[in-house]
C-alpha cells in the first residue's frame, strides 16, 4: 500500500520511500507541480473528515490542480508526471451516504476532466455507488471502524476491485486499522498522526508494507 502523507514535498524527499506519496488538501497544495514531477503519487482530499468541506476552498484547489496538470501536459518533458495524480475526492458528507451520493451527482459533471474518488459512507448499500461515472478512478473507504469492518464495506471494496478501481482507506493511525485496510484490498491509506508528529512517519511506512 502507499502511505499518502499530508505534508510538504521536502518531508517526502527526506524520507524518500517507495511507498510514500502525498495527500494534498485545501489548506496545503503548495508545490503540487514539483511533487508530481518528483515522481510522487498524489491524492487530493477535500477536508470533509476534519473540517467539513469549504466549497470555495475546494473549487480553488481544483483550479490549482487543473492548472498544474495543464502545465505538465503542455510540456513534453513533464507530460508523464500528470499521471501521478491519482484522484480528487468529490465533496462528501461524513456518515451520510445519501447526501454524499447527492453531492457526487450534483458536482461530478464539473469535474469530468479529472480522475475522481467517491467517498464510501455508511448507508452506501441503499444510496449506491456511481460505478458508471466515466471519470471514477477510486473508492475512498471512509466511515467509522464498525462500518469498515462490516460486510457492506467488504462487498463495496470487492466490487470496486472487480472494476479495476483504486481503493484508499482513511483514517489509519494504528497497525490494527492498517491490517483491516490491507485485508479490504486498499492500494493506499492516510492518517493524521504522522502529519502532527512527523517522527511517526517510519511507523506508517512500516504499515505500508502490509498486503492482503
| Residue 130 and residue 136 in contact, taking contact as beta carbons nearer than 8 Å | yes
- CATH number for the domain that contains residue 133: 3.20.20.120
Segments forming the whole domain that contains residue 166:
2-207
Q: Is residue 159 part of a domain?
A: yes
Q: What is the pLDDT along the chain (212 residues), one digit of tens a residue?
A: 999 999 999 999 999 899 999 999 998 889 999 999 999 999 999 988 877 889 999 999 999 999 999 999 999 999 999 999 999 999 999 999 999 999 999 999 999 999 999 999 999 999 999 999 999 999 999 999 999 999 999 999 999 999 999 999 999 999 999 999 999 999 999 999 998 899 999 999 999 998 75
Domain count, the chain: 1
Burial class of residue 62 (count of CB atoms within 10 Å of its CB; 0-12, 13-18, 19+): buried
Please state, in angstroms and as integers, the Cα–Cα distance from residue 167 to each residue in 57, 58, 87, 96, 126, following that order.
25, 22, 11, 19, 20
pLDDT at 32 (0 to 100): 97
pLDDT at 52 (0 to 100): 80
Q: Are strands 166-169 and 116-120 parallel, antiparallel or unpaired?
A: unpaired
Q: Is residue 129 part of a domain?
A: yes
Q: Is residue 29 part of a domain?
A: yes
Q: Is residue 26 part of a domain?
A: yes
pLDDT at 39 (0 to 100): 97
For the beta carbon of residue 200, count every other beta carbon within 10 angstroms.
14
In this structure, what DSSP letter does residue 136 have? E
- 2 grid coordinates: 502507499
Q: Is residue 10 part of a domain?
A: yes
Burial class of residue 139 (count of CB atoms within 10 Å of its CB; 0-12, 13-18, 19+): buried
The helix (H) or strand (E) run that includes residue 103 is helix 97-107
pLDDT at 212 (0 to 100): 59
| Residue 141 and residue 167 in contact, taking contact as beta carbons nearer than 8 Å | yes
Q: Is residue 180 part of a domain?
A: yes
Q: Is residue 170 part of a domain?
A: yes
Q: Is residue 212 part of a domain?
A: no
Amino acid at each position: 500500500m502507499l502511505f499518502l502523507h499530508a505534508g510538504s514535498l521536502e518531508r517526502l524527499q527526506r524520507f524518500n520511500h517507495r511507498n510514500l506519496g502525498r495527500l494534498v488538501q485545501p489548506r496545503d497544495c503548495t508545490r503540487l507541480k514539483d511533487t508530481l514531477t518528483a515522481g510522487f503519487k498524489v491524492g487530493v482530499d477535500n477536508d470533509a473528515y476534519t473540517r467539513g468541506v469549504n466549497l470555495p476552498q475546494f473549487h480553488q484547489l481544483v483550479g490549482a490542480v487543473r492548472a498544474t496538470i495543464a502545465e505538465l501536459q503542455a510540456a513534453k518533458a513533464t507530460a508523464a508526471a500528470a499521471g501521478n495524480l491519482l484522484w480528487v475526492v468529490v465533496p462528501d458528507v461524513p456518515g451520510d451516504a445519501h447526501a454524499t451520493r447527492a453531492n457526487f451527482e450534483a458536482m461530478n459533471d464539473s469535474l469530468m476532466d479529472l480522475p475522481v474518488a467517491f467517498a464510501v459512507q455508511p448507508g452506501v448499500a441503499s444510496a449506491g455507488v456511481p460505478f458508471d461515472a466515466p471519470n471514477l478512478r477510486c473508492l475512498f473507504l471512509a466511515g467509522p471502524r464498525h462500518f469498515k469492518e462490516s460486510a457492506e464495506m467488504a462487498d463495496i471494496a470487492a466490487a470496486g476491485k472487480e472494476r479495476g478501481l483504486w481503493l484508499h482507506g482513511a483514517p489509519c493511525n494504528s497497525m490494527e486499522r492498517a491490517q483491516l485496510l490491507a485485508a479490504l484490498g486498499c492500494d493506499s491509506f492516510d492518517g493524521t498522526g504522522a502529519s502532527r508528529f512527523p517522527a511517526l512517519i517510519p511507523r506508517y511506512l512500516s504499515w505500508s508494507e502490509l498486503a492482503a
